[in-house]
Amino acid sequence: MTSSPSTPTRTTPAAGPSRVAGAFLLDLVLVVIFVLIGRRSHAESFDVLGALNAIWPFVSGMLVGWLISRAWRAPLGILNPGVIVWLCTVAGGMLLRVASGQGVQLSFVIVASVATALFLLGWRLVALFAVRRRRA
């Protein structure tokens, strides 16, 4: 069976509307959680504007990743869309932070890369194993 990277395969089932919405919302919630954990670990007070200011660059990057990868076609895929969404979230988030005058240091890039990989790829791996187990 030949398939393009965004075509559903045996391990990345076709996506219905509820699966797409669930995957998108899970990515969104995990990106927001990542940012809020970061703010909390730096003892930043929780204020809505401060949180939104920290969240928007990464959510914007995530949205670009969803568009570039056409994640709605097979949202559970690890390489596509998973890795693409993850890379766009981190790279886009960092670029937008720089463009908006927010700080970006190497240690932050490393921590953000690892944490968002665990979040955005981790749930997809769990879903992949669940799909395989259900089919076995």
Q: Per-residue confidence at 14, pLDDT binned at 50, 70, 90?
A: low
Q: Over the chain, what HEC string results?
A: CCCCCCCCCCCCCCCCHHHHHHHHHHHHHHHHHHHHHHHHHCCCCCCHHHHHHHHHHHHHHHHHHHHHHCHHHCCCCHHHHHHHHHHHHHHHHHHHHHHCCCCCCHHHHHHHHHHHHHHHHHHHHHHHHHHHHHHC
Quick: pLDDT tens for 43-101. 777 789 989 999 999 999 999 999 999 999 999 999 999 999 999 999 999 999 999 99
pLDDT surpassing 90 at residue 131: no
The pTM score is 0.85
